[in-house]
């Protein structure tokens, strides 16, 4: 694995790395995995939400032209469309998905089956993965609460229950979706999801203003999870929640 460029004064640039890649191929390497930047340039090293996906595409393309062995690229890839385009255009041979594989390890299968709306998007929050990694704690994921608990599975409730989810934001949608998975006897009742007036619209405007379009992707994914169920939850809009209702 090599850097395409260090992104610091006096560090390696992509021309240096292309020459190094060609030399390494002559040494007998089977493939080269190309990353970017050093730790003082975290916008490339960890690529937070504000950094767009595939931000190293032009750099890895330069490396690809220098060698004939397979070149692997990485860098905030969260969706399969641009990754597939990179391979199709010959700009790289393989695309590595890092944090996206934590958010949704089945993403390649879903892409192959053209279930793009069913993919859990990585929102590049860095809170569950990188922060815990540095702290020496088990890695978790804010969009995939089952990460690290896959072997435990979801244990269905033994008795059907009525569930009221107040609020139609990301947390409310996620709670309702998980409740659907846990409660098999849904035909005995309906979920009641109370959405305050214009909350959905406000959420979209908020995340767009913050530049976090991927949070919108998460919101749309959770809505899809609810809508695809045979037993869709009852959606109650504009209701002021009072103790009498609960």
Q: Which residue has the tokens 């947390």?
A: 171
| pLDDT tens per residue, range 138-147 | 999 988 888 9
120 and 104 in contact (C-beta within 8 Å)?
Answer: yes
Q: Minimal CA–CA distance to 56: which of 88, 82, 22?
A: 82
Q: Minimal CA–CA distance to 51: which of 126, 137, 131, 117?
A: 126
Q: Note the pLDDT of residue 90.
A: 95
Q: Note the pLDDT of residue 116.
A: 85
Q: Note the pLDDT of residue 52.
A: 81
**Total residues found in the chain within this entry:** 246
Q: Note the pLDDT of residue 208.
A: 46
Separation between Cα atoms, residue 139 and residue 203, nearest integer Å: 27
Low-confidence ranges of the chain (pLDDT < 50): 184-201, 203-211, 230-231
pTM of the model: 0.75
Separation between Cα atoms, residue 124 and residue 48, nearest integer Å: 5
Q: Note the pLDDT of residue 78.
A: 84
Q: Note the pLDDT of residue 168.
A: 64
E strands, 102-221, are: 164-166, 192-195
């Amino acid at each position: 694995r090599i850097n395409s460029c260090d992104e610091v004064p006096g560090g390696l640039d992509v021309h240096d790395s292309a020459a190094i890649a060609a030399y390494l191929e002559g040494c007998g390497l089977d493939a080269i995995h190309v990353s970017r930047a050093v730790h003082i340039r975290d916008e490339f090293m960890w690529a937070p939400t504000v950094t767009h996906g595939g931000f190293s595409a032009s750099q890895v393309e330069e490396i690809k032209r220098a060698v004939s062995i397979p070149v692997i690229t990485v860098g905030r890839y969260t969706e399969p469309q641009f990754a597939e385009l990179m391979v199709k255009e010959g700009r790289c041979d393989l695309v590595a998905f890092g944090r996206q594989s934590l958010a949704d390890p089945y993403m390649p299968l879903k892409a192959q089956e053209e279930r793009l709306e069913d993919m859990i998007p990585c929102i590049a929050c860095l809170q569950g993965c990188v922060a815990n990694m540095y702290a020496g704690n088990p890695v978790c994921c804010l969009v995939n609460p089952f990460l690290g608990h896959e072997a435990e599975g979801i244990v269905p409730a033994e008795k059907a229950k009525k569930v009221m989810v107040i609020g139609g934001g990301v947390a409310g949608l996620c709670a309702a979706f998980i409740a659907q998975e846990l409660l098999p006897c849904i035909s005995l009742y309906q979920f009641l999801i109370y959405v305050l007036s214009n909350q959905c619209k406000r959420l979209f405007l908020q995340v767009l203003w913050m530049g976090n379009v991927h949070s919108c992707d998460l919101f749309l994914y959770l809505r899809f999870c609810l809508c695809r169920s045979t037993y869709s939850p009852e959606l109650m809009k504009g209701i002021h929640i009072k103790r009498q209702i609960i």
